[in-house]
Amino acid sequence: MTDSPITALLNLFEDEKQALIQADWKRLDVLAAEKERLLGSLEPKTCSGPVLHRVKLLSDRNRKLAEAATRGISHGRKRLAALAGRKVALVYSTDRKPESLPMSLDTSGRLKGIKL
């Protein structure tokens, strides 16, 4: 038996939350299309007030997560731009000791030796 559109939507919101936390952008693209389809198939008259309230709460939660991810990406870009002109960056090792990290870019414009 398949889930009702509302049950599928509630489950999708949980999947979307995990994809946002894991920064799984490809999964978020797939979920966005499915969410749009499910929202289009809902008939509000058949949904109870508490169910619609839950949909709104989960939607708001995920919107806030998406906004936080956007802010984090923006901050990261600004930080990388600020570091772009440096020859050396100060970093800390796992034993909390400061170390110098040479800052050089590869042919694609990414920092050499750094995996993000």
Q: How far apart are CA 78 and CA 10, in angstroms?
A: 35
Q: What is the pTM of this model?
A: 0.69
User: In 6-111, which ranges are E strands?
Assistant: 88-92, 98-102
Please tell me what DSSP assigns to residue 105.
B
Q: Rounded CA gap, 101 and 89, in Å?
A: 5
Cα gap 64→57, rounded to integer Å: 11
Cα dihedral angle (81, 83, 85, 89), rounded to 10 degrees? -170
What is the model's pLDDT at position 99? 86
Q: What is the pLDDT of residues 41-92, one digit of tens each?
A: 888 777 788 888 999 999 999 999 999 999 999 998 888 777 777 777 788 8
